[in-house]
A and B are shown apart, each in its own frame.
Chain A
Amino acid sequence: MNPQVNEDRIVLTVEQQRRRRGRSIAIALSLGLFVVLIYAVTVVKLGPAVMIRPL
């Protein structure tokens, strides 16, 4: 399971790459959910008035 050393950098095993990809996807989904949540809460708290402002 240990990563191989290739000259001056670490080469991840296939399993390590698979798990890193899983973590990356989970972080991306979490950030996406967070953006949607902030958007929804903003609309709920401010309502339609969010678009009405003096120019």
Chain B
Amino acid sequence: MSLASESADLARPLGSDLARAEPSLAGVEDYLALLKPRVMSLVVFTALVGLLVAPGHVHPVIGFTALLCIAIGAGASGALNMWYDADIDAVMTRTAKRPIPAGRVQPGEALAFGATLAVFSVAALGTLVNWLSAALLAFTIVFYVFVYTMWLKRSTPQNIVIGGAAGAFPPVVGWAAVTGDVSLAPVLMFLIIFFWTPPHFWALSLLKSDDYARAGVPMLPVVSGLEETRRQILIYSIVLLPIGLSPTLFGFAGLVYGAVALVCGAMMVALSWRVWRERSGPASPSAARKLFAFSLLYVFVLFAALLIDHELIKFGLLR
């Protein structure tokens, strides 16, 4: 028994986990993993596009600061999510190797890390950029941690539909960092990510429904079955097509973006149709896997097209 364990016996009546904590085994890479870097890359990219397509000028240093704060805020949300969901993560194959269930990071470390970064990112964005973007970032973190992670995820199959709002906010925060307000254009960017989230996550949940069932997470395939999930994926993908086109339809983007959004939206519908049609056999998981992979590409390509289109119009190369 280590000294830490012995002293824990004395401290146990206080109920403090920290008193029983062994010296940390966490490496820098474990703390980076708590930030969910892959999710962060999507957040940073969409926020960057929101920032660059916003009207007005922002100094590169201020723009970089805004992006850094948004990235850290997103990372803080990820760390707090991993802290709260460690019990679920431990029983799911996809997440069992995350730092907390793997035992490399103590829950208290993740909580302190996430809470510190959350407060820091909002305070820094407010003082160094502007307070509207800071308020939006704070709302995003609070929504993701308290509304999605602590409430919706364990209570309703609509968890990722409503919770998807948290992932849709970064371009709005980026826009607000430049303009200090929110108009129709960032709302359209919000809606694209919001309606993209259900087919994206449900494609994954079709592949991992056993995992979610074992963990007791009421994902749509667990509660309503695979058939209903496939139907919902198709419906959301069809709704996503005109929403993806909306920046061009509302005159906020040009035809280059419109063409890309049309092709990518049609691909989403086609792949979702295949998921709906291939209900059994080896082609079924393959169809879901292809939709999941393409959906990742979809959001990156659409936002990249939005940025390129904006730059072409700005330099007079496109009307």
Query: Is B61 in contact with A41, judged by CB distance below 8 angstroms?
Result: yes
A1 (CB) vs chain B CBs: closest residue: B25
Q: How far is the CB of B91 from chain A (nearest CB, A)?
A: 24
> Which residue from B3, B26, B27, B61 sits with its C-beta under 8 Å from A44?
B61
Q: How many residues of B contact A (CB 8 A)?
A: 17
Q: How far is the CB of B154 from chain A (nearest CB, A)?
A: 32
Within 8 A of A (CB), among B234-254: none
Q: How far is the CB of B199 from chain A (nearest CB, A)?
A: 37
Taking the complex as formed, is B59 at the interface, i.e. its CB lies under 8 A from any CB of chain A? yes
> Which residue from A3, A19, A23, A41 sits with its C-beta under 8 Å from B62?
A41
* Residue numbers in B under 8 Å from A40 (CB-CB): 61
Distance of A2 Cα from B2 Cα, bound (Å)? 8
* Residue numbers in B under 8 Å from A41 (CB-CB): 61-62, 65, 128
Query: Is A44 in contact with B4, judged by CB distance below 8 angstroms?
Result: no
B127 (CB) vs chain A CBs: closest residue: A41
Distance of A38 Cα from B22 Cα, bound (Å)? 36
* Residue numbers in B under 8 Å from A9 (CB-CB): 3
On whether A23 and B26 interact (CB within 8 A), knowing A37-B68, A41-B62, A41-B65, the answer reads yes
Within 8 A of A (CB), among B102-137: 128
> Which residue from A12, A20, A26, A37 sits with its C-beta under 8 Å from B65?
A37
A38 (CB) vs chain B CBs: closest residue: B128
Per-residue CB contact flags for chain A residues 27-42 toward chain B (1 = under 8 Å, else 0) read 0000000000110110
Q: How far is the CB of B108 from chain A (nearest CB, A)?
A: 15
Taking the complex as formed, is A14 at the interface, i.e. its CB lies under 8 A from any CB of chain B? no
A9 (CB) vs chain B CBs: closest residue: B3
Query: Is A19 in contact with B26, judged by CB distance below 8 angstroms?
Result: yes
Taking the complex as formed, is B23 at the interface, i.e. its CB lies under 8 A from any CB of chain A? yes
* Residue numbers in A under 8 Å from B24 (CB-CB): 16, 19-20, 23
> Which residue from B2, B31, B61 sits with its C-beta under 8 Å from A23?
B31
A33 (CB) vs chain B CBs: closest residue: B68
Distance of A37 Cα from B234 Cα, bound (Å)? 46
* Residue numbers in B under 8 Å from A12 (CB-CB): 23
On whether A23 and B4 interact (CB within 8 A), knowing A37-B65, A41-B65, the answer reads no
Q: How far is the CB of A29 from chain B (nearest CB, A)?
A: 10
* Residue numbers in A under 8 Å from B61 (CB-CB): 40-41, 44
Taking the complex as formed, is A46 at the interface, i.e. its CB lies under 8 A from any CB of chain B? no
* Residue numbers in A under 8 Å from B59 (CB-CB): 44
> Which residue from A10, A26, A38 sits with its C-beta under 8 Å from B3?
A10
Per-residue CB contact flags for chain B residues 178-194 toward chain A (1 = under 8 Å, else 0) read 00000000000000000
On whether A10 and B28 interact (CB within 8 A), knowing A40-B61, A41-B61, A41-B128, the answer reads no
Distance of A26 Cα from B26 Cα, bound (Å)? 12
> Can you give 11 contacting A-B residue pairs, CB < 8 Å?
A3-B4, A8-B3, A10-B2, A10-B23, A12-B23, A19-B24, A19-B25, A19-B27, A22-B27, A41-B128, A44-B59
Q: Which 7 A-B pairs have the closest CB atoms?
A: A19-B27, A26-B28, A22-B28, A44-B61, A5-B3, A40-B61, A41-B128
